[in-house]
Structure 1
Amino acid sequence: MPGHAHPVKVERHDVRALQHVTNTGTRAVRTYTETPHGLYVDREFVAHPRIRRWQAHLLPMHNLVVCRYDFHGRREHDYYLDVAQITHDGAVWSVRDLYLDIVLHDGLMAEIVDTDELLAAREAAFITEREMHRAVDVAHHTLASLARARYSLREWQAAQHLSLDWTPTPVATA
């Protein structure tokens, strides 16, 4: 098996149960809010050495998860955008991570990372050729649109006709 290859990470967000299920376990979620563009998530990172809190917007139409981390120490970046396939069935949202990520230093720069992971995953047949091309297309299109927005998430979301609120009020679930 090629170096750095790992199977696709698939996460589940159970809105009713307020649970985020990852490859490392099930975590309690503080807030889920469905928005016109997708799903907002806010959860604590318990006993994590670098991260205190994670907020994210799952954006199915853009094939992106836009993340914001609250670090214990120095801020490493402002936003982290995961290229992903996002689906939902009722109150359960699924995120299939397609390896490529964009690290955004708001107003300064952005870069695509983890290309080595994408290529290793394709070589190991963890993803199809079509999925690999889709991930590359989404990452490069997003990077280009961030550049046109002067690497400002606020300007980028306005150009995409998005409104990403990082502190929404939770919606009561039945």
Structure 2
Amino acid sequence: MATLAHPVKVERHDVPGRQHHTNTGVRPVHTYHRTPHGLYVARTFAGHPRIRHWQAHLLPGLNLVACRYDFHGRREHDYYLDVATITDAGDVWEVRDLYLDLIVHDGLMAEIVDTDELVASRAEGFIGECEALRAVQVAHDTLSGLARARYSLNDWLATRGVRLHWHEWSLLSR
């Protein structure tokens, strides 16, 4: 199946308005919390067939969005990392998703996905060469770091001076 090129997805987080603006609409956010390394976000995925809740840490210094999902069924992975350019404008944060993602099975393995989307979108001019090369560099540096940390996201982040806090799913549904 051929991958269709598409423009870079740009999302906005309106912190005071508690709204997550995505390419598919505006979603209410129940938790925003500024952290030493970025912004923590948590929201429900109402009506989604696979996902109940989403938590994320926007990490501008690492060019990553670290995500945890609460699935309706069996857990598909532990963490999902989006390679992105993240801009903090105080009350509004912008995430420019640079196509590449890393799927982390904590302590077991990690893989880079969506390289085909990056290549197709670069060929169509939706992303410039410098930004595409930066995305590749971030993804490969992250994967190499995860490998050195035996695929423990928390251990790798600790080497970068970052500590993330995640909420228990049962607390998010209240």
TM-score after normalising by structure 2: 0.94
User: Structure 1 segments of 4 or more deviating over 6 A?
Assistant: none
1:21 aligns with 2:3: no
In structure 2, what is the equivalent of residue 69 of structure 1?
A: 69
Query: Which whole-Å CA distance do the structure 2 matches of 1:137 and 1:154 have between them?
Result: 20
In structure 1, what is the equivalent of residue 151 of structure 2?
A: 151
Secondary structure, counterpart of 1:121 in structure 2? helix
- Alignment deviations for residues 61-86 of structure 1 (CA, whole Å, 9 cap, x no partner): 10000000000001110000000000
In structure 2, what is the equivalent of residue 117 of structure 1?
A: 117
In structure 1, what is the equivalent of residue 39 of structure 2?
A: 39
Structure 2 regions of 5+ residues with no counterpart?
Answer: 169-174
1:165 aligns with 2:168: no
Structure 1 regions of 5+ residues with no counterpart?
Answer: 169-174
TM-score after normalising by structure 1: 0.94
Matches within 5 A, 1:73-92: 73-92=73-92
The structural deviation recorded for 1:167 is 2.6
Letter matched to residue 91 of structure 2: A
Q: Is the 8 A contact 2:3 2:116 kept in 1?
A: no
How many matched pairs?
Answer: 167
RMSD: 1.2
Letter matched to residue 53 of structure 1: H
**Percent same amino acid at aligned positions?**
69
